[in-house]
Structure 1
């Protein structure tokens, strides 16, 4: 499978590019970016061709991997899908529900495969742990808290990301929280949202299983307070996410495996659309 990479930022250099270049099942055929010099640099780093036009790259490949802000990802993904190209996308799928619906509709109409890279869902041990909790059932409540410290000096390669500064923790780490809650507790049927300090958002969710959950989401936590906590409580007791370090490139390689497989993956464009709908509803409630 020949894959074109759209995007040249930190995530393209740290995860998408290395994993695509190393994967035995795909060929990283080309790179396009909004800055031609960055496209040339990233293409050279991973032995690919730099493209000046995204449509030219889309025309030359079987699939596209997109590492761009959500407002840019959605229209390019829809164009690629309509051209018959498979999609390996990042979260959130889009910055608006309309954008996400356009992608999902294009995928459905063309019949291409789509995978949205919700990082923890493609980490092997985490995916296995979530499957165990979903199979166990009997949960009546849960929490998924993401305390990021992105914008401190030297804290993160994403500190200069304009869309993260604009959209905050709700849109950046909110998808992570939803990606672990929904497969275990079911779809969201009701939600409430409240502001915390800085960009912090607190969500309270009701799921179609009857369970409830909460999520605390921020990119502006003090560095000493940063971290992730996921737990489920129910008839079996308490199940706590074991955490641990893992390589983003290894998780991304599993996302590539999912794209090249004939079997559909749960984290597809339809799931990305549903996550976007929930985020947009929370944003609306926050005012």
Structure 2
């Protein structure tokens, strides 16, 4: 299994898991920064490739840890070379690019898994599966108030695409992944902008339930926090200790994603979080982005001053 990328995710999660996984061998690393690729490959006793197509030729599968719009065209080439794909979310920020990737996967007949951390973190995956079995649910809410790019915030995973695309595209996929795991496919979305990069979503699901999500990377640090709840005849379900460590451990989650790709590549059932689900997530987020941008550009008429009584 080859690795594309040399940033924090690749260094802290992807490379160590692939190097130590019992059912995978790290076949090599390619990155846009050759020196960083060489250093990461040396740390894990593998090969740094200067030609990405040579890495594809040396690999049965490829994992990606690069920005979405870098990932999509490279993943198409990997699929055409016969490589199974372990993709990062979102698979692309353009529906056309995501659709092209999904079509390339189908043409090549390779397996695909998209790494949504919370869908693969074992405690959360188990909790979501139990909630799905308990349905139907009436409504749900998933809010991500992150201060990652706030003036008083800090973060280790800074990148230009996150700064440009904001919370909708960075944490929005997480919200959609957990909501759809329990409520089913999203059939429509309504989006409205808030302050900074904040976007509010109202979602309708195939089973009739509705859900909401608020997403931002620029909340004041004192206001940051996560909310996840499902409401129905059984009452309100909230993951115990939600927001604390253990629900979204990236190492355990990525190991589970590798397991899922190994099973799918070996002829097992495709995972629910495959490239087609990744395409649907991109379509929903692009629709929401279009609506939010249109509303940001709409100038409301000034309200007349109140009349004196």
Structure 2 runs not aligned, ≥5 long: 294-309
Structure 1 runs not aligned, ≥5 long: none
- Write the distance in 2 (CA, Å) between the matches of 1:228 and 1:40: 38
- Write the distance in 1 (CA, Å) between the matches of 2:153 and 2:39: 23
SS at structure 2 position matched to 1:40: helix
SS at structure 1 position matched to 2:190: strand
Q: TM-score, normalised by structure 1?
A: 0.96
**Partner in structure 2 of residue 259 of structure 1:** 261
**Partner in structure 2 of residue 276 of structure 1:** 282
Give runs of aligned pairs for residues 11-26 of structure 1, distance below 5 A. Answer: 11-26=9-24
Structure showing greater radius of gyration is 2
Give runs of aligned pairs for residues 1-287 of structure 1, distance below 5 A. Answer: 3-151=1-149, 155-159=154-158, 161-242=159-240, 243=242, 244-246=244-246, 247-261=249-263, 262-287=268-293
Alignment check: 8 A CA contact 1:229 1:241 kept: no
- Write the distance in 1 (CA, Å) between the matches of 2:245 and 2:235: 25
- Write the distance in 1 (CA, Å) between the matches of 2:227 and 2:183: 16
The 1:52/1:276 distance shift into structure 2, 3 A limit, reads: same
- Write the distance in 1 (CA, Å) between the matches of 2:189 and 2:260: 31
**TM-fit CA distance, 1:44:** 1.3
- Write the distance in 1 (CA, Å) between the matches of 2:92 and 2:9: 17
**Partner in structure 1 of residue 304 of structure 2:** none
Of Structure 1 and Structure 2, which has the larger fraction of its residues in strand? 1
Q: TM-score, normalised by structure 2?
A: 0.89
- Write the distance in 1 (CA, Å) between the matches of 2:273 and 2:35: 33
- Write the distance in 2 (CA, Å) between the matches of 1:266 and 1:15: 22
Displacement over 6 Å in runs of 4+: none
CA root-mean-square deviation: 1.2
